[in-house]
Amino acid sequence: MKKIAFASLIIALGAVPASAQPLQQQLSRCLAIPGVLQRLNCYDSVAKGAGIPPMASAAPVPVPHTAQPAPAYRAPPAPVYAAPAPVAPVPSLGSERLPSTIAATRRPENAVTAGVTAVTYDGTGRFTITLDNGQVWRQLSGDQTMLHGTRFSSAHITRGALGSYDLTVDGRHASYRVTRLQ
């Protein structure tokens, strides 16, 4: 409604002769008002002073009655199934580097000692060790210390410097840099 009145004001200004300087001054005065409602009231008063009648409220335009198309088929909403809540495993050493679905929310301990169930080697001589608690650790490629053998009774893993992990096995006097896979 207000836009229509403003548009009719602009049209009326175009039809006013150049001698209508006071109307233009009034509009520029309205333009300088910072408040939105105050500025709109100023424009309304200028329009009333110029003799522009207010427009009647816009009535909806009647639409000729035609055959209505059938409503589009809407499939029923899909049933919502609640996913089972993820079970947070007990935090353990190295779990903060595992994917978030596996990692625990609490801070893990600083060391773990467990029995060794399997040791495998890749083509470069780096080992992957599986512990009896289910953890799997792999030697980092930058570690130059080589482990030999496949039978070890237990392994001890501790936190190293700058977020690394060190693994030692019984019967060896060496430390190996490792990362946790599981």
* 124-135 average pLDDT score: 92
User: 169 forms bridges with which residues in the sheet?
Assistant: 155
pLDDT band at 18 (very low <50, low <70, confident <90, very high): very low
Residue 134 has pLDDT above 60, yes or no: yes
Which pLDDT score is estimated for 136? 93
The letter for the amino acid at 68 is: Q
Which pLDDT score is estimated for 10? 56
Q: Tens digits of per-residue pLDDT, 21-35?
A: 588 888 888 888 888
Q: What is the mean pLDDT of the chain?
A: 76
Q: Tens digits of per-residue pLDDT, 97-126?
A: 666 654 445 555 788 999 999 999 998 989
* 75-102 average pLDDT score: 63
pLDDT band at 57 (very low <50, low <70, confident <90, very high): low
Which pLDDT score is estimated for 90? 56
pLDDT band at 17 (very low <50, low <70, confident <90, very high): very low
Q: To which residue do tokens 């609640």 refer?
A: 82
